[in-house]
Amino acid sequence: MDPILISFNGFQIRYFGVLLAFGLVIMFIKVRRNFLAIRLNLTREETLDWFLITFIYGVVGARIYFVLFNLDYYFNLSMNWYEVFAIWHGGLSFHGGVIFAAFSFWSLCRNRKIPFGVASDQVVAPILIVQAFACIGSFVNGELLGTPTNSRLGIIFEYGPAAELYPNIRVHPAWIYCALLYLVGFLFIDIMSKGRLKDGFATTCYLLWYSLVQLLISFVRTPGLTLFGADETLIMSIAGVVVSIGLIVGKRLYRKPPLGQKQFPSTRKWST
């Protein structure tokens, strides 16, 4: 599938950008509805500001993280210095994006004196929607992720890195696997977050689900960034599983709080 949707006089619109934008719009609408449902004191304009600030921090963090793991590539003598900023040439790391975006979101919550766990529980499920659309876009781009396979599920790519490395060879459509698993995670966490749960439980479940998905996909994907000579994604995924389970068990997040002690009610009648 050609990754370019529209091309005119050198200007290109790619499926990846359209899908990502569509996912972000759905995420914003969903987050706004969730904030209203728990009576979070944020206007539509403030929610949009939070959304844009966090998104910008996420993109910057994703780029910094990727460049730090590829210093030899970006700072060799034959490379133009401005390639460090050329995200349109590829090179974003989701782990770096999450770290920077989470810090930005935490700062915004602290500034408004809103408990981080209360607000983040309403955001994490919609994030999985964006991830699912981004995965589909990466699949259309032919970005390298799946390993060769004889399975009927295998795909022969005609564009992108996958076509260059595995010409006329079937590979796992690992990005599609990711997208499906993220959508399943969204449904589960979204339903669960509407219940009477301790603040931060949905957020921790998101970290656990994301880490488990990455662990599962590691069996059918090509290696990516490396950390201390090992697969960075694998290390971060194992750490995510350990940390999330530790938080759930250690802080007993699985236990329902007593009635009346939750600061923001989970249901409310509202209008747009």
DSSP state, residue 69: T
pLDDT tens for the chain, 272 residues: list them.
Answer: 788 888 887 788 888 889 999 999 999 999 999 999 888 888 889 999 999 999 999 999 988 988 888 877 777 757 777 778 877 666 788 888 889 999 999 999 999 999 999 999 999 999 999 999 999 998 998 887 899 999 888 999 988 888 888 999 999 999 999 999 999 999 999 988 777 778 899 999 999 999 999 999 988 988 777 777 778 888 889 999 999 999 999 988 877 776 654 544 444 333 33
Kindly calculate the radius of gyration of the chain based on its CA atoms and give it in whole angstroms: 20
Give Cα 109 to chain centroid, integer Å: 20
Q: Provide the token pair at 222.
A: 């090509």
d(C-alpha 37, C-alpha 199), whole Å: 15
d(C-alpha 70, C-alpha 68), whole Å: 5
pLDDT at 258: 67
pLDDT at 260: 54
